[in-house]
Amino acid sequence: MNTESLLGSTKRTNNFKIDDKVSSGSAHPSNYKYTGYDRGHLAPASDMKISRTTMSESFLMSNISPQNPSFNRGGWKKLETLVRSWAQNYEIHVVTAGVLSSKLPKLGSSNVSIPKLFYKIIYAPSEKKMIGFLLPNIKIKTGLNNFVKSVDEIEEITGIDFFYDLPDEDENLLESNVVLSDWNFTNFSISSSVKNNYSSSISKSISKSISVQCKGVSKSTGARCKNKIKSENQYCYLHKNQSLDYKVPKKSNDVGRCKATTKAGTQCKRSASSRSKYCWQHKLFSPKQ
């Protein structure tokens, strides 16, 4: 997503339609009728004005999820506007979806899951920065900065390994840190009153999120860790045991990083399950311990 992709003039179509390419069966627009939920876009229609094809495809039901009307037309819309403002300055990659599980309530005859949480992850390669958002599917009454998460935190909740094809060193650094001052939350098209509220809350949040380099040393290379941590700390979660003040918890479930290797050939980034060397996913396929 970049400036060029936002220059289109194609008008919104509202032609919601099933997606024949969904092998498990697509939801139908009528599944939402009389439910009280909006047919909420994951990839916004306003980002797809470059052509009639992209606009039309944004209304495929595979790009639609049940959203509370006050969420879809409020906080979610403001987040979409904010992300577009960033794309006017540099190219970004956006990953977005609802957090799914088998226990979620269903909607319509197609049993469409109703997410309680939605996320967006934004990666700006040229700026070497990432930021994530995790919002509840309800009316958003506070500034968007209150819903900022690191990519690592969203991975933990979703069970998905995002950007796994990046070099490990870059992936670990980018996904574990968020520096709010690197992102402009104020220069986007919303009302001046809302913008002023965001400006105030962001400035307070930035003062609490100043990041410094971890003082830890990598055992494998002997080089100083490149992870960023908050100023009140000196070591990241990987090297916290190198602190002179570190004390091993008497009852700790922290068993370190999962020992499994992903399909991409890199070490899994999730935390291992209690009394195990593997995370919840790889534990199923690990040798008996």
User: What's the domain count of the chain?
Assistant: 3
Phi and psi dihedrals of 5, rounded to 5?
-70, -15
Domain shared by 260 and 169, yes or no: no
pTM across the whole model: 0.65
Best CA proximity match to 236, nearest among 164, 167, 162, 150: 150
For residue 275, the model assigns a pLDDT of 67
For residue 198, the model assigns a pLDDT of 39
Query: In which band, very low, low, confident or very high, does the pLDDT at 263 lie, cut at 50, 70 and 90?
Result: confident
The whole domain housing 116 covers 4-209
For residue 197, the model assigns a pLDDT of 44
Domain shared by 152 and 173, yes or no: yes
Best CA proximity match to 104, nearest among 137, 142, 152, 150: 137
Domain shared by 153 and 64, yes or no: yes
Name the percent of the chain lying above pLDDT 90. Answer: 40
The pLDDT of residue 10 is above 90: no
Domain shared by 61 and 156, yes or no: yes
Domain shared by 49 and 118, yes or no: yes
Q: Which alpha helices (H) appear in the chain, and where do they start and end?
A: 52-57, 69-70, 76-87, 151-158, 168-176, 192-207
Domain shared by 184 and 52, yes or no: yes
Q: 194: domain CATH number?
A: 3.40.570.10
Which amino acid, residue 244? L
The pLDDT of residue 204 is above 50: no
Q: What is the mean pLDDT of residues 8-18?
A: 89
Domain shared by 63 and 81, yes or no: yes
Domain shared by 162 and 64, yes or no: yes
Please measure the distance between the N-terminal and C-terminal CA atoms of the chain and give it in whole angstroms: 46
Write 281-287 long-range contacts (CB < 8 A, 24+). Answer: 281/159, 282/258, 285/260, 286/260
Active site residues: 41
Best CA proximity match to 75, nearest among 152, 178, 149, 146: 146
The pLDDT of residue 147 is above 90: yes
Running DSSP on this structure, what letter comes out for residue 17?
B
Q: What is the pLDDT of residues 82-92, one digit of tens each?
A: 999 998 888 99
Domain shared by 143 and 257, yes or no: no
The pLDDT of residue 124 is above 90: yes
Domain shared by 21 and 110, yes or no: yes
Domain shared by 216 and 94, yes or no: no
Domain shared by 228 and 92, yes or no: no
Q: What is the mean pLDDT of residues 124-136?
A: 93
The pLDDT of residue 154 is above 90: yes
